[in-house]
Amino acid sequence: MGYPPEEKDKVHGIFKLMFLLKVDDKGRKYVESTTALNTAQFEEYVAAVKRWASNEGLYIPDPNEADY
């Protein structure tokens, strides 16, 4: 999305807050780590980020769509 390398962690944190904020059985909020997600959960997370980006007029290609 054009962010410089030093800001990528900030963007990742924002996306985690937007899409991985959870509430435990005692009502405490926490942000789930992407490394703790299984494959299906991670795919759901990536899809949510891509939907958000699409609504903002951005397109994030799948890895097999990118030209290197």
pLDDT in tens, 4-60: 877 888 888 999 999 999 999 999 999 999 999 999 999 999 999 999 999 999 999
In this prediction the pTM is: 0.79
> Helix-strand-coil percent breakdown of the chain, rounded to 5?
55, 10, 35
Phi, psi of 22 (to 5 degrees): -125, 165
- pLDDT for 68: 63
Q: Which two tokens stand for residue 62?
A: 């799948």
Q: What is the pLDDT of residue 24?
A: 95
pLDDT value, residue 8: 84
* CB within 8 Å of 29: residues ≥ 6 apart: 21, 22, 23
